[in-house]
Structure 1
Amino acid sequence: MEEYNALDMNNNEFVERKEDSFKKPSVLQVGVLFSLVVVIFLYLGTRVQKWNVNYGVLITEFGLILVPPIAYLLIFKYDVKKVLRLNKPGILNLFLIFWIIVFSLPVIGALNFLNYWVIKLIFGKYEVFQAPISTESWGLLIGIFVIGVSAGICEEVLFRGVIQRGLEKFGAVKSIFITAFLFGLMHMDFQRFLGTFILGALMGFLVYKSNSIFCSMFAHFTNNSIAVCLTYVSLKANEFMKKSGIKGVENVQNGDIFASFSEMSQIELIAVIIVYVMIFAFSIAWLYFLIRLFIRNNNKREIVPEREEKRTTFLHFAAFIPGLLVIGFIYVMDILRMGGLIEQPVIDRILRAVGL
């Protein structure tokens, strides 16, 4: 009986590995795809978003981020369903993912706070990107669709769908973290890179364990939609406080957390720190518990990717260089501007000279 069980286990393992041994994108191909999307995103996406923010984001997401990977899979005749992991996510998975994202927010917020603190130490200031949310009627729903739905679908197809698949030859862990690193870079915001990187790694983990890209899509949608809702509520609260003549709104509205802290008394500051530490510890505990449940629920869904023995040459990795150079150029311009080494008009002229 024990021999039969062992044989059955080996057969199941063989079936799982056989199912995973289909044609996958190569490192060279995903490198070319990444660089292509970065270039068209910066050269075309920024222009359409200046024309109209909401329509521009939708055109960028669906036209410039989603179309290239889908076209690539179809042109080179890949099995789209298998490459993208178009498998049912499961109701319990979606329930767990929602709460995983909810309890990950304080953790990611702490990482972003640390990121801001380092930036402020270096440059004496930091900048917070404000999502284009309107407080008018339908503003919230439009924001959720533009920032939550479109990004959740399009960016996940590119990163967790195609790029992570192409990097799986190095193993699951490396493919998840390299993809998360590229995901963080492409957001063009080094001031929140740490939080974005961890979020990308979390979504890559969810996809790998569940063998369904719909899990990362739902996680991405949930994270962005919660952020949109919080921004909307914050803007509404600021409008109310301004109309009511309440002072001290400027620091909150400009996102200057440290300026707000400096106005607090020592007791108030200690109280805020204690409360946030308690929230952080509570969130970490629940996050650990929920991730363990998620892993247990997906034990039979996870498929271990095959490792390739053949070495990857530098030429394959070189395909990422054009995209990384363009991103690096944008980051350098931001660093020089924030450091006061170059004035904004000079940066504008440089960007125009290179077509950005």
Structure 2
Amino acid sequence: MNKIKKINIIYCITVLISIFGSFFTSYIYLITKNMVYTLLTSQVLLIIPALVYIISNKFDLHKTIRFHKLKISNILLIIIFSYLSIPLMTLINLISMLFVKNNIQNTVEVIINENPLYISLFSIALIPCIFEETVYRGIFYNEYRKVNVINGMLLSALLFALLHMNFNQFFYAFVMGIIFVILIEATDSIFSSMIMHFVINGTSVFNVYMIPKLQDMLKEIDPEYARDLADSLNTHYTRTELLVSISSLWPIVLITTIFAAVILLAIAKNSNRIEHIKAIFRGERLTEIESDEETYSYDASESKNSRLITLSLIIGIAICLVFMFLGEIL
């Protein structure tokens, strides 16, 4: 059995474990009365099939997942790039809320309200950025890219988005998945996507944590303004409020996205991978030296002989879609 078939079976197993694990995590919540334990358990369940795949194939983690060092200058640029990308994610989220439910916001608020800030950051930002990046970009994408880089990018982003199991997260998670992969290709290090993942999730946690405190401070100064601020930050938007927010946000998104693209090019240039990025989007044959002894080649034309889509992958995707539709209906 080739590696693509194996990795697609791993995805299907991950989906099944995630679904059946939801019942287990519900039981954990009944015992602990704390969503943190539920979230951490779901993250552990997510990574188990990938770990089995790594161990059974005796992979070198450094090469397979691309645990390569980052320059300090690139770390700073990645943080800036992450913040410049947040308005785009926010806009996509708002647009999706015109059509689907926002089910995740309440969960985040519950975790933050029930726990100290450091626990919330650990469970919502740190653990997901390590586990999810290791699974989706470290394992799935790095196997798919050996067949076709662009298709691997899109497919790994799709699988990442689908396993969130709701349409609201699906849309911005898909775009995030693509951006994470481009960032990895620009740096040749999965640490870059981990940093960006942490910054985005961590910023969301920090905002939700600080807003009530800011409102309490404002109540002492200007109660009327505090009430207006609370109304403007209400997550239960009407359709009209969403449209107003979208229309006011898109010019900011346009500017920040342009700056983000400039920063991304600077990151690639700083990593000596500008030509590599250009070659990917031109569909050219890529040859990369992974070590002194081995050379790995990735060719866009190889997809004619190797298929990324297999029956197990289709089953996994179908199961995700069924549960996503059920989540909207129920």
Specify the TM-score bucket, using the shorter chain as the normaliser.
0.7 to 0.9
**1-structure distance, mates of 2:162, 2:104:** 17
Query: What is the root-mean-square deviation in Å for CA atoms of aligned residues?
Result: 3.1
- Structure 1 counterpart of 2:322, one-letter code: F
Quote the offset at 1:259 in angstroms.
Answer: 6.1
Aligned: 1:30 with 2:30? no
1:25-174 superposed matches below 5 A: 26-48=3-25, 50-51=29-30, 52-61=34-43, 63-119=44-100, 129-130=105-106, 131=108, 132-135=110-113, 139-174=116-151
Q: Which consecutive residues of structure 2, in runs of 5 or more, have no partner in the other structure?
A: 277-286, 289-296
1:200-230 Cα offsets, whole Å, 9 max, x none, are: 1101111122111111111111111011111
> Based on CA coordinates, which of the two structures has the bigger radius of gyration?
1
- Structure 2 counterpart of 1:225, one-letter code: G
- Structure 1 counterpart of 2:163, one-letter code: M
**Residue in structure 1 matching 2:207, options 210, 224, 230:** 230
**Residue in structure 2 matching 1:292, options 265, 290, 294:** 265
- Verify the 8 A CA contact 1:160 1:179 in the aligned structure 2: yes
1:127-162 Cα offsets, whole Å, 9 max, x none, are: 5632143346x6211111001110000001110001
**2-structure distance, mates of 1:310, 1:73:** 27
Aligned: 1:317 with 2:307? no
- Verify the 8 A CA contact 1:103 1:284 in the aligned structure 2: yes
Aligned: 1:208 with 2:193? no
1:2-52 Cα offsets, whole Å, 9 max, x none, are: xxxxxxxxxxxxxxxxxxxxxxx7211111111111111221145225344
Which region of structure 1 is more displaced relative to structure 2, 94-103 or 247-256?
247-256
Would you say how many aligned residue pairs link Structure 1 and Structure 2? 298
Question: Could you tell me which residue of structure 1 aligns to residue 327 of structure 2?
Answer: 334
- Verify the 8 A CA contact 2:35 2:111 in the aligned structure 1: no
- Verify the 8 A CA contact 1:181 1:197 in the aligned structure 2: yes
1:214-293 superposed matches below 5 A: 214-237=191-214, 255-258=235-238, 261=241, 276-293=249-266
**2-structure distance, mates of 1:197, 1:209:** 19
**2-structure distance, mates of 1:78, 1:28:** 17
Percent identity (aligned): 22
**1-structure distance, mates of 2:99, 2:125:** 29
Quote the offset at 1:242 in angstroms.
Answer: 8.7
Q: Which runs of 4+ in 1 moved over 6 A?
A: 239-243
TM value normalised by structure 2: 0.79
- Verify the 8 A CA contact 2:17 2:45 in the aligned structure 1: yes
1:35-70 Cα offsets, whole Å, 9 max, x none, are: 111111221145225344112222221x21223212
**2-structure distance, mates of 1:65, 1:274:** 37
Secondary structure of 2:68's match?
coil
- Verify the 8 A CA contact 2:147 2:306 in the aligned structure 1: no
Secondary structure of 1:129's match?
helix
Quote the offset at 1:325 in angstroms.
Answer: 2.6
**2-structure distance, mates of 1:318, 1:240:** 56
Aligned: 1:188 with 2:165? yes
Aligned: 1:306 with 2:267? no
**1-structure distance, mates of 2:317, 2:230:** 36
Could you say if the C-alpha distance between residues 28 and 261 of structure 1 is closer, same or farther in structure 2, counting changes exceeding 3 Å?
same
Quote the offset at 1:281 in angstroms.
Answer: 2.9
- Verify the 8 A CA contact 1:252 1:260 in the aligned structure 2: no
Could you say if the C-alpha distance between residues 167 and 139 of structure 1 is closer, same or farther in structure 2, counting changes exceeding 3 Å?
same
Quote the offset at 1:312 in angstroms.
Answer: 3.0
1:179-198 Cα offsets, whole Å, 9 max, x none, are: 01111111112023221111
